[in-house]
Structure 1
Amino acid sequence: MELTDVTLREGAQMPGRSYTIEQRIAAGRELDRLGLAAVQAGFPAVGDDHAAVTRRLAADLDADVSGLARAVPGDVDAVIDAEADVVNVFAAVSSAMLDRVFDTSREAVLDMLDDAVARARNAGVPVRVGLMDGFRTEVEHVVTVSERFPDLPLGLADTVGGRTPAFVETFLEELAEAGVDLARLGVHFHDDLGVATANTLVAAGAGVGSADVSVAALGERAGNTPLEQLVVAGDRGSGDTFGIDTAALIPACRGVLDALDEAVDPRRPVLGEEVVRHESGLHTTVMLETPWVFEPFDPATFGGERELVFGRLTGRGAARRLLARVGGEQSERRVDALLDALAKAGPVGLEGALSLARDVSADEGR
């Protein structure tokens, strides 16, 4: 499965955001460190800033740079004029969207897709077709679109973020049984139920060819499949890192967040500071020697680092190991003295704790 990052386009849709062109360019360059297959730079028909970002990144990145377009001539022309590498044309053929949002027929939408695809092809620009609300679209209608554009990648969006892994697995099985080549498919999940990563992993396991992701799930409502979580989960589960440079993962994602002036919850998986910080007495005791016992993954594998913190929660076992590291004796008196010093000075990092252990050892030696 290849990954397309949609942080720049989806992030700009969040309420109150007004990223500058230069912010988005800087974030795009950080993303390109990862070896992504593609970066969706924006929605050029929305405004000149989206077009400018698309044009500059298309000239600058190794990844393919795509622009989003509705299946209308003006949108497609805007992506072409922005010199994108790929036009991502989307439309809806689900009954819910046709009846409640667009007030048009399915056949009319298919004709619009025909025209949009032809327009991009005539301009010599590769095109992908995406189905808005794809995971609420009846299987027969997904098959119709697949057969209408047999040589194009076809994206399916869980637009409202309401699908679960069991549903996704069954839906993809039904498409495969109906003759759809899952390797042609791309998936775009929203995280409203907190299962976007799980849904994407299910899709990968089923043989789906590509998926949309965003850094720290930046995107409208609850956001999209988090890039960093998917890569780490893939590595831990099946050994598949989706072509991403794992050593650059955490630094590049943090670089994107810095460029966009976005912060994340300190307890956020993979990127949060707290997820690699340990103070519990039992944890630090063991992790001084064998950190993997209390970690789901080694942060260093993905360009991060763990932080052991010592203070009032430090136990006697950890104190003894700290004293041993500095060559001090682990008498009960020295252990008590170190625990008192840690409680007063803490929380401190490993180097600070070792410094206190040296001080205790020196004091006890006098």
Structure 2
Amino acid sequence: MKTYRDYDDLPKIKLPYGQEVSISDSTIRDGAQMPGIVVRSHHKVKIYEYLHRIGIEKLETFVYNERDRKAISLMQDMGYEFPEITGWARANPADIDMVLDVDGIEETGILMSVSDPHIFDKMGLPSREAAEEKYLEALQYAVDHGLRTRAHIEDMTRADNYNFVFPLIEKIIDIDPECTIRICDTIGYGVPFTGVDEPYGIPTIVRYLKEKINVKNIETHCHDDFGLAVPNSLAGYWHGANWSNVTFLGIGERSGNAEMEKLLLFLKRRIEGFDKYNLDCVAEFSRYMEKEIGIRIPRNKSVIGNNVFAHESGIHTAGVIKNPFTYEPYPPEIVGGKRNFLVGDSSGIEVLRFKVQETLNELMDVNIEIEKNDKRLRSIQADIQKLYNEDKRVSCISDEEILGYVKKYFMFNPMVRKEMHRDEDGEKEVKSEATPGIKPRMHDTID
């Protein structure tokens, strides 16, 4: 009989193809294009440091202006082997020359827009054939100058793949068999479901590239306009892709990109054999992005929101106090988080007892257990419920307020009752008895 009472009891999932998968980051390239924020050179360097601590394999960056090149130089000065710093270029020799001018960059992405709106309306090209010629010439130029390449197949999930894109990719692989083909779900139209044909079906596209064209390196780059960026990235891995391009917190244009932290957590905790990523700085990383760059993080955002390990309702808090596995999908320390119990309108006596006991222990520097039927505890509960019943309160009770209740009901109401009388020899004898409802632990002393 199987029993699942601890995190280690739960089985992990195996990738069907069993391939090694990796992550490339676009936080300081695509992510920096998020409207309303400015990612400066020192921000980029700090982001690079966090990515190194996590273990991300590659990072892509622009090289167009002095700020970009300054950040690259500062990152290179740190001497890290990973993430590998890679370039990004439009499909023309002039852009590729800018990448070549930066010492130390050995790989570049090349933008290849493949949907008709991009070819005809955005770029003003006369035909698909003209676009293909432009892209292949740029790729050949990069290869001839010694660069490894990634072909960014932009807007592939709104393109004519069978008649245009797949034949183009075959020619790309003829030029550079090691080229990473990036499936760009530019407007978020991709879906992770099997049985959905192109242009939308990520599983269909990945399998066609892998099985029909024999592409060695397949990468997804998914946008979140329909909320499917992470599911589509996972679907890519599930059907044979070996790379996913993401941003931290999912920042980027419009609704943003696939969120790195979600993908990392799923790989580390749910998929067999992915211990290479270190997530214990993720919470710290998110606080940096919020404070220094101004990214607003919803309280209920997966992995890094303030409420991820916060518990208020009676049933949940009672369960977590007894065994965190009851209502927490993974331990807080995995992502550098901290468990937090809150007292609010839905809280029961168990969480209040926990908070009062915790406050007393800190206040008196002793370990004390309070019984649930302690009259003072019930008095605090009544006071708090009165606030909510009379609609005087719309938020949780703060730790400072709990401290005030503890002082009112416990510190001004002696915890130890002292009885004094004389013994047979006339000497004064003192006997102490703990107040009902409080149990000092065996190793503690109450003065």
The one-character-per-residue Cα deviations of 1:226-282 (angstroms, maximum 9, x if unpaired) are 011111233343246584212233323433444434331222211111222111122
CA gap of 1:335–1:68, structure 2 versus 1, over 3 A, is same
Structure 1 residue corresponding to 2:45, chosen from 16, 21, 25: 25
CA gap of 1:355–1:169, structure 2 versus 1, over 3 A, is farther
* C-alpha separation in 2, matches of 1:179 and 1:275: 43
Q: Which moved more, 1:305-314 or 1:353-362?
A: 353-362
Q: Which moved more, 1:231-240 or 1:155-164?
A: 231-240
Which amino acid letter does the alignment assign opposite residue 14 of structure 1? M
> Aligned pair 1:153/2:204, yes or no?
no
Structure 1 residue corresponding to 2:406, chosen from 334, 356, 366: 356
> Aligned pair 1:44/2:63, yes or no?
yes
Identity over aligned pairs, percent? 23
The structure whose residues are more often helix, as a share, is 1
Structure 1 residue corresponding to 2:124, chosen from 100, 103, 112: 103
Which secondary structure state, in structure 1, belongs to the residue aligned with residue 303 of structure 2? coil
Give the gaps of 5 or more residues in structure 2.
1-20, 194-200, 358-366, 388-394, 418-447
Per the TM alignment, residue 154 of structure 1 is displaced from its structure 2 partner at its CA by 1.1
Per the TM alignment, residue 289 of structure 1 is displaced from its structure 2 partner at its CA by 1.7
Residue of structure 1 in register with 2:161 after alignment? 139
Q: Which moved more, 1:96-105 or 1:206-215?
A: 96-105
Structure 1 residue corresponding to 2:189, chosen from 155, 162, 170: 162
* C-alpha separation in 1, matches of 2:26 and 2:314: 41
> Aligned pair 1:56/2:74, yes or no?
yes
| Conservation of the 8 A alpha-carbon contact between 1:342 and 1:353 | no
The one-character-per-residue Cα deviations of 1:339-365 (angstroms, maximum 9, x if unpaired) are 246668962459967993996496464
Which amino acid letter does the alignment assign opposite residue 52 of structure 2? D
Residue of structure 1 in register with 2:147 after alignment? 125
* C-alpha separation in 1, matches of 2:48 and 2:144: 28
> Aligned pair 1:295/2:313, yes or no?
no
| Conservation of the 8 A alpha-carbon contact between 2:207 and 2:240 | no
Per the TM alignment, residue 135 of structure 1 is displaced from its structure 2 partner at its CA by 2.4
| Conservation of the 8 A alpha-carbon contact between 2:38 and 2:293 | no
| Conservation of the 8 A alpha-carbon contact between 2:139 and 2:172 | no
> Aligned pair 1:217/2:250, yes or no?
yes
| Conservation of the 8 A alpha-carbon contact between 1:278 and 1:309 | yes
* C-alpha separation in 2, matches of 1:360 and 1:320: 13
Q: Which moved more, 1:289-298 or 1:93-102?
A: 93-102
Which secondary structure state, in structure 2, belongs to the residue aligned with residue 127 of structure 1? strand
Which amino acid letter does the alignment assign opposite residue 50 of structure 1? D
* C-alpha separation in 2, matches of 1:205 and 1:350: 49
* C-alpha separation in 1, matches of 2:209 and 2:72: 33
Which structure's CA Rg is the greater one? 2
* C-alpha separation in 1, matches of 2:328 and 2:400: 17
Which amino acid letter does the alignment assign opposite residue 32 of structure 1? H
User: RMSD of aligned C-alpha atoms?
Assistant: 3.0
Which amino acid letter does the alignment assign opposite residue 139 of structure 2? V
Structure 2 residue corresponding to 1:333, chosen from 372, 375, 378: 375
CA gap of 1:117–1:192, structure 2 versus 1, over 3 A, is same
Residue of structure 1 in register with 2:397 after alignment? 347
CA gap of 1:236–1:26, structure 2 versus 1, over 3 A, is closer
| Conservation of the 8 A alpha-carbon contact between 1:316 and 1:339 | yes
* C-alpha separation in 2, matches of 1:80 and 1:258: 35
Q: Which moved more, 1:286-295 or 1:342-351?
A: 342-351
Aligned residues: 363
| Conservation of the 8 A alpha-carbon contact between 1:187 and 1:210 | yes
* C-alpha separation in 2, matches of 1:53 and 1:185: 28
| Conservation of the 8 A alpha-carbon contact between 2:314 and 2:348 | yes
Q: TM-score, normalised by structure 2?
A: 0.72
Which amino acid letter does the alignment assign opposite residue 143 of structure 2? R
> Aligned pair 1:114/2:136, yes or no?
yes
Q: Which moved more, 1:62-71 or 1:134-143?
A: 134-143
Q: TM-score, normalised by structure 1?
A: 0.87
* C-alpha separation in 1, matches of 2:272 and 2:289: 25
